[in-house]
Chains A and B, each alone.
Chain A
Amino acid sequence: MTKRHLLAVDDLHVHYRLARPHLFGARPTLRAVDGVSLSVERGRTLGLVGESGCGKTTLGLAVLRLVEPTGGTVTFDGMELRSLGAEALLDVRRRMQIIFQDPYSSLNPRQNAGDIVRSPLDVQRVGSPSEREERVAELFSLVGLRPNQRNLFPHQFSGGQRQRISIARALALNPDLIVCDEPVSALDVAIQAQILNLLGELQEDLHLTFVFISHDLAVVQHICDEIAVMYLGVLVEKASRRTLFRSPRHPYTRALLSAVPARRASRRTERIRLEGDIPSPINIPPGCRFHTRCAYAQDRCRVEVPELVEKAPGHWEACHFETSPRAG
């Protein structure tokens, strides 16, 4: 990790021990995140994409230590998070925030908008009460809410406005890193554009670093600089936006891309169809995790686990085969 990188994740594992299925049964382990390494440069956006259940949200939470990783390290601005004590962690948390997917359930319905935005300032005891009020007013204008909406409650806002409140709350403490967990998935398309533009502007003005979790490849392509594709707890491909969309390598990435409905007939190329669903993270297939759904799977894929290696400069892939980009 160099000085340019704000966040580095190394071989991160998040395993959950589940209850015994029956009295003498062994406790199964759910491997939500199973050895992920990545890093994010300052002021850039890393996109994490994958189907539901692939572990992308758990990874986002583990980065903030909102769930406790069971292995590996998370280094934020040179500090190893898992070694920090409660007090030091509170200090670091000032600098890392999160925006959740559902603006309906992530805001306290009994708190008014101003108090929601103010609560991080109260928790961290930043400034005097009057300074906090000033900061709230400042944040409101920053995210495009009117000052007279300060005393309204969440149910009086539309979905897009609620997401603006969540963003204001995340910005309250001047963070460096914001984990955006599907911030626009619950919004209407027209509102989606407003929120994406707002996030882009804020990133430029405040020099923010984003980890952007999404299942929507069009949104990811629009907002992310670097993209990591996740499947069943591991990364299968990692590249810059341009490289990934121009020459996707991994069969899973290519299938994901081809499943996105094309708006114009010209893009409607031959489809790669994935059969079935993502396997259970309790019962991970041996060998390459994707072999059960991969059209190119060979015997070797069923036994041997492929490592994530740099196949071309800046383009990482976990596959045994040299797939020529754009073939198949």
Chain B
Amino acid sequence: MPAVTGKPPVLEVDGLCVDFAVRRKQVRVLSDISFTVGRGETLGIIGESGCGKSMTALALLRMIPSPPGRITAGRVLLDGEDLIQVPEKRIRAIRGGEISMVFQEPMTSLNPVYTIGNQIAETIRRHKGISGAAAWKEAVDLLDMVHIPAPERRVHEYPHHLSGGMRQRVMIAMALACEPTVLLADEPTTALDVTVQAQIFDLLREIQEVHGTCIVLITHDFGAVSEMADRVLVMYAGHKVEEGTLDEISGEPRHPYTQGLLRSMPEIVDDPADIRERLPEIPGTVPDLLRGLEGCPFAPRCPSAMPKCRDRPGYTRLGDHRSVKCWLASEGTGDRVGS
């Protein structure tokens, strides 16, 4: 495990808030999200659907549909440059340039009527302003880099010729075209088989080692996080409820939501008992953001909810890059900051 401190942050998100106007109401879908990612580091963002993890990635690149969405507060610093403030032209260069994205569904994110070479070369031409032939050659090299066999032949193929794993490799090749500093991977392996998933993780790790790319891995699968991430951020209903290193989160989760989430996942053991045990479940479902949340967002489902939870807890810092948004943690030694 690489050291998690001491690296200068490449990407710094500070107090990011996003509101959506729905039925004449302002709904806060991201509340005060802050995190940093250092060079060559992987941050995992984990949470259930609707918790705001994909929204976070979109907000970084200012890709939130607006209206109804709006970034109401916060800064996103990429090497010191605030992406929330930069002009539209600059952010367009950053998208797919310094920060690129890999989406979940490789079939719907590739254009079915163009060859994959065409699609990769287009990215290169747009960002680097080089000729078609040179861009095409680079596309072949990129396919080779993501270990697609016979890349000279494959560039001429259409997305439907390729398997799911191959398509995801193409997406990664496209995302890498301009040697990004930050790679946002939104559920990159969710649609894939475990065997192929393992291949994709190997590839991402290899790329990270060679280029020092920071990876933000967004997923609902703790397995994927434990495979890739150095640090983990747990989200619930638009809030960052806990943050820490992978070992801290998986070994000693402090927030009741993280604890419940980890417990509810069946895990493979080498010697399973012969009786089937009940999985500990988190009762209820995620809250409806439209109704507005008072106090701690997790309180209605929390086994250790107490009267105090009607007030919203602030972050309790437990160490460098280790914080929990829960009243229980604030009773310990950590000092509270913000709210």
Contact = CB atoms under 8 A, between A and B. Distances in A.
Contacts of B49: 159, 188
Contacts of A241: 272, 274
B166 interface: yes
A273 interface: yes
Interface centre among B226, B281, B282 (most CB of A within 10 A): B281
Given A193-B265, A259-B194, A277 B163 contact: yes
A273 B272 contact: no
> Contact residue range for chain A?
35 or more
Interface in B164-202: 164-166, 193-199, 201-202
A257 B268 contact: yes
B270 A197 contact: no
A222 interface: yes
A245 B270 CA distance: 6
Interface string A213-226: 00111110111000
A99 interface: no
Interface stretch (A57-65, A84-92, A261-269): A261-269
Given A197-B278, A221-B266, A189 B48 contact: yes
Contacts, number: 126
B198 to A, nearest CB: 4
Interface in A204-254: 215-219, 221-223, 241-242, 245-246
A36 B184 CA distance: 43
Interface stretch (B93-101, B133-141, B216-224, B304-312): B216-224
Contacts of B198: 259, 261, 271, 273-274
B202 A277 contact: no
Contacts of A261: 197-198, 201, 221, 223-224, 226-227
Nearest to B198: A259
A255 B201 CA distance: 15
A218 B268 contact: yes
A196 interface: yes
B274 A190 contact: no
A257 B202 CA distance: 16
11 contacts: A188-B220, A189-B48, A189-B222, A193-B279, A221-B266, A241-B272, A245-B268, A260-B268, A261-B226, A263-B222, A263-B250
Given A256-B194, A256-B195, A259-B195, 16 more contacts: A51-B193, A188-B220, A189-B220, A189-B264, A190-B260, A190-B282, A193-B264, A200-B278, A241-B274, A242-B272, A246-B270, A259-B197, A265-B247, A273-B202, A277-B163, A277-B166
